[in-house]
Amino acid sequence: MLVALTFGLPTAKADWPDFRGPWGNGHVSAPGDTKPIGLPLQWSETNNIKWKTEIPFRGWSTPVILGSQVWLTTATEAGNDYFALCLDKENGKILFNEKVFHTDNPEPLGNGASMNSYATPSPVIEPGRVYVHFGSAGTACLDTTTGKVIWKRSDLPCRHYRGPSASPVLFENLLILTFDGADLQYTAGLDKQTGTTVWKTNRSVAWNDESVPGPMARDGDLRKSHGTPLIATVVGKPQLLSVGAKAAYGYDPHTGNELWRVEYNDWSSAPRPLFASGLAYIVTGLVKKELWAIKPDGRGNITDTHVAWKLSTHIGKYASPLLVDGLIYTPAEESFVTCVEAATGQVVWTERIGGKYAASPIYADGRLYFFSQDGTTTVLKPGRTLDVLATNKLEAGFMACPAADGKAFFLRTKTHLYRVEITTTEGK
């Protein structure tokens, strides 16, 4: 059973405060908790839908949930205006629709715009406050009671080139942001009460663009990364596991000091790291797409000493992997799911389940839920053989990751937010 995943997070179920849930790993229940929740197995546009609300403009951010509220972000397709939305969890009514930032000259998304948006980073939420982030366009803290801005920052530079992606992370008194752009690559810790910068750490490994000829190198494309870091407990102390272009890092989240790094020849990683049983699992990037298991207890450059195993077979390049009972499941963009032994890196099975995957899967009620770009959800039973339990379809595709609270899923498609829960006997 997966244990001790993150530092300073709850040991019991606590709504859905971040895009991968209360433990940052896509698990709905606490480690070791096997009590049934009652989430649905089946649904459709006409079955097991409590409410469906159209979301204006465009955004791939995951909804976050606390108490009676659901928060998410959206932005105009041209990137001029950026909004924080709050919905009533019970009926789907939009309570707040706050325009947080405006820019007259947004940075174009460039090629690959269909895989990104100006509102891709997900919010994080805690009692009384929600934090929204739009990359270099701005970061803000809002009062969840009034919907009004408490503080905002729009002075953290980064040329994202293909749009912002990395979501913010809460740690103690800090809001940690990741900027891996075509020009600058750094991580910053802000005082969550005031928004002031507490620490800022530049990536220590720079890409030699001259080693890869062509327009991608010239435009700085090879310097980018898109992943959200993870706070993990390593030998009793918190670490920020963060994946950048050409290297992945372990940082002290209190100070931003680099503790270790591993280096590779890859860039534009999107999946969030995992941590379990003393190993950190990272996806190196968009091209090689290797899954690495790292022992994060070293110091300095540990590439040659602390990499436990590597795998390059059908690794998901957008969706984050999911780890359940010693097995990692990675959904690839090209319709494959691969099951891997977490301890050894040995492939258990690789099967096509259909679809392409950008949204990260979640684990709930003993089931694996995979959400495809065409709106199909495939539900699998975890284990050493492929066992499909159900398939479900909604009208528009999934780019945002799913959220869960109580007995309900909150699923954001390209056009709507749904509350999905059992309303008929067929959906159990």
CATH number at residue 347: 2.130.10.10
Q: What's the pLDDT at 333?
A: 75
Domain contains 55 = yes
Residue 219 binned pLDDT confidence (cut-offs 50, 70, 90): low
Give the integer Cα–Cα distance in Å for 212 and 367. Answer: 42
Percent of all residues in the chain with a pLDDT value above 70, rounded to a whole number: 92
Q: What's the pLDDT at 319?
A: 96
Q: Tokens representing 308? A: 């436990």
Residue 410 binned pLDDT confidence (cut-offs 50, 70, 90): very high
Going 266 to 272 to 274 to 275, the CA torsion angle's sign is: positive
Q: What is the mean pLDDT of the chain?
A: 92
Give the integer Cα–Cα distance in Å for 98 and 84. Answer: 5
| pLDDT for 208 beyond 50 | yes
User: What is the domain range of residue 213?
Assistant: 49-427
More confident call, 351 vs 217: 351
Residue 368 binned pLDDT confidence (cut-offs 50, 70, 90): very high
Domain contains 40 = no
Residues linked to residue 239 through DSSP beta bridges, in sequence order: 232
Q: What's the pLDDT at 4?
A: 36
Percent of all residues in the chain with a pLDDT value above 90, rounded to a whole number: 85
Classified as helix, coil or strand, 351 is strand
Instruction: Give the tens place of pLDDT for each residue, 25-46.
Output: 999 988 888 888 999 999 999 9
Q: How many distinct structural domains can be found in the chain?
A: 1
Instruction: Give the tens place of pLDDT for each residue, 275-307.
Output: 999 999 999 999 999 999 999 999 999 999 999
Q: What's the pLDDT at 220?
A: 75
319, 360 contact by CB (below 8 A): yes
Domain contains 36 = no
Give the integer Cα–Cα distance in Å for 315 and 171. Answer: 29
More confident call, 194 vs 30: 194
Domain contains 53 = yes
Q: What is the largest CA-CA distance in the chain?
A: 61
Give the integer Cα–Cα distance in Å for 399 and 115. Answer: 8
Domain contains 266 = yes
Which amino acid does the sequence have at 288?
Answer: K
Residue 375: what are its φ and ψ, rounded to 5°? 95, 5
Mean pLDDT along residues 44-59: 97
Domain contains 130 = yes
Q: What's the pLDDT at 147?
A: 97
Of 39-48, 326-335, 361-370, minimum mean pLDDT range: 326-335
The DSSP output letter for 230 is E
Domain contains 287 = yes
Q: What's the pLDDT at 166?
A: 97
Give the integer Cα–Cα distance in Å for 299 and 412. Answer: 40
Mean pLDDT along residues 94-122: 89
Give the integer Cα–Cα distance in Å for 148 and 132. Answer: 12
Mean pLDDT along residues 246-257: 98
Of 127-141, 211-225, 332-346, minimum mean pLDDT range: 211-225
More confident call, 107 vs 176: 176
Domain contains 7 = no
Q: What's the pLDDT at 5?
A: 40
With CA atoms as reference, report the closest residue to 166 among 252, 285, 269.
269
Mean pLDDT along residues 366-375: 97
